[in-house]
A and B are shown apart, each in its own frame.
Chain A
Amino acid sequence: MENEIPEHCPGVQSEAAGKASTCDGCPNQKICASGEIIVEDPKIMVGIQERMLNVKHKILVLSGKGGVGKSTLTSMIARVFAQDLAKNVAVMDIDICGPSAPRIMGVEGETVHQSGSGWSPVYIGENLSVMSVGLLLASPDDAVIWRGPKKNGLIKQFLSEVDWGSLDYLLMDTPPGTSDEHLSIAQYMLPCQLTGAIIVTSPQEISLLDVRKEINFCRKVNIPIIGIVENMSWFVCPKCRKESEIFLATTGGARQMASEFNLPFLGQIPLDHRLTQACDEGIDFFEEYSDSATASAFIQLVKEIKAHIKE
């Protein structure tokens, strides 16, 4: 029986099931192509929906490009939201190959505990929690070398088994690209009233190229877009205090792209070496440098986000 399954089976749950060229000759081809195979175990979907009912705003942080600051921004935005102690905020890191959230939030090395009500996320302070594959590894240096279906399984578990409690904001940090993780999160979150996605980019055209794809991806799978943020927009020299642009916006940067796509432009964040250091060390940037221009930029950004999600 094993010999009859085609070598490059796209998977019974994928869009190309039964329709890909590699499906020719497979005994299951007709069944897959007819779409009869149920996309997902309904119990899991109900489980996810139940958990998500307790979450008021579910926000995805996407880019298409790597290294533009998704993880940094997700964590900083979460911290700003959590400054209001009446609100409960959580960060879910679904970048399985390169989980950065534990380090940035300062909880690297902590462990996730399991209870009757599910997995409990790691708490930073009273109202801010984190869940990431980085917290499940024996050592933070362990490499997670998984193919798609396994990653899909873990994302399913994060969504259905983590006991977040009641949350006001759940921020989901994603890896770059438009692959398994993104498809999975879209598949599981769309039936749960996903608030929307924040798209992060740097001003460089090479980044914008990938981000345009990400925007089109969101449109294709019906993920509402809250707006676009431009990170690393400018750099302030610590010595002479003059501003310089490192990642030149040769094609108008994110602002231009936002107007092309008719999307809200949420703001700009400067490149600040104190921010990169704070992320490396896992310290709260807002506590250390609360009156910096970077901190003000984040506070302004969160104001814009709040304005757009209340609509």
Chain B
Amino acid sequence: MALRRFNFGVTLSSWKMKYSTHSDPLGTNLKERQAQMMKKGLPVKKPIEGVKNVILVASGKGGVGKSTVAVNLALALSRHLPSQDVGLLDADIFGPSIPTMMNLSGNPLLTDKNLIKPLVNYNIKCMSMGFLVDNNAPVIWRGLMVMSAIEKLLRQVDWSPLDYLIIDMPPGTGDTQLSIAQNIPVAGAIIVTTPQEIALIDARKGALMFQKVGIPVVGLVNNMASYACPNCGHHSHIFGATGAEKLSKEIGVDVLVDIPLDTSIMEAADGGYPIVISSTSNNPLVQAYMSLAEKVLSRLSAIKDEPSR
């Protein structure tokens, strides 16, 4: 992925003569011109047909609960807006968790237009690498193959019509993240982290990456925030206490919700019956996810209403 080198040795006077206009007589809008020239080598963002809003659920760190949050967020959104269509894409090619969590399996069919039909459960359209390969088979691919697989999962799936597509990202800041960030317009990203400093270091990198590629980070999720001992009820901060707040202040992004480490969330996910639908709406855990969904929606509409910079 080579950027074409632009010769900045061109003198200012020749710039002025070439690019000055009535509204900009000195032709001093250099930065914009430079940015435009640099962009020439990069892929152009093309929206997915029929999909209105794309939300990324990312981290930089593995194992902080991205998939669990993505699944429960998708279900919470669907409950919050029952007349709208929500989809869930599992972009983790190497360790797809969505099939297990959504209790889906089997080979997807093709439509007449040769698009892959997403599998549906709990009213959410889902697609994952897990539907296309055997459960035990490892996907041993280098980055380029991953890029082309992600492209297929984005564009050759019959998503339409969708109001919200949640993309469960894999850990890291590599090929998958870049491919998605550069190829489709994204409404916003949520960064999931645990309070542990080790997780925050990677979450910070994830946030920095989104900043670099121009994707707004709408908020942080402080996952596995604390654990209540089932015997005595004592709350332990197994992964630390103040981490997410600290990160929030550093990168200027709010913590949208604190989700405790709770065996029932994990059990529900493993069993393919996520907590948002398997438990009652007065369960504080369900309320946490519903509140997350509401906040994400309001942040997204605030971003849309902002005058373009």
Contact = CB atoms under 8 A, between A and B. Distances in A.
A148 B95 contact: no
Nearest to B143: A148
B250 to A, nearest CB: 9
B202 interface: yes
Contacts of B171: 66-67, 97-98, 175-177
Contacts of A144: 173, 205
A230 interface: no
Contacts of A288: none
B219 interface: no
Contacts of B267: 248, 250
A207 B145 CA distance: 24
B231 A177 contact: no
Interface in B134-177: 135-148, 170-175, 177
A280 B196 contact: yes
Given A64-B95, A66-B61, A210-B95, A180 B100 contact: no
B299 interface: no
Contact of A98 (B147, B172, B240): B172
B205 A209 contact: no
Given A98-B62, A212-B135, A250-B267, A244 B230 contact: yes
Contacts, number: 220
Given A176-B62, A240-B229, A250-B270, A147 B95 contact: no
Contacts of B209: 143, 145
B138 A213 contact: yes
A216 B136 contact: yes
Nearest to A202: B63
Contacts of A182: 140
Interface residues of B, number: 64
Contact of A280 (B63, B138, B139, B197): B197
Interface residues on A, range: 35 or more
A216 B136 CA distance: 7
A26 interface: no
B198 A280 contact: yes
Interface of B: 1, 60-64, 67, 94-95, 97, 100-101, 135-148, 170-175, 177-178, 196-199, 201-202, 204-206, 208-209, 212, 227, 229-232, 234, 236-240, 261, 263, 266-267, 269-271
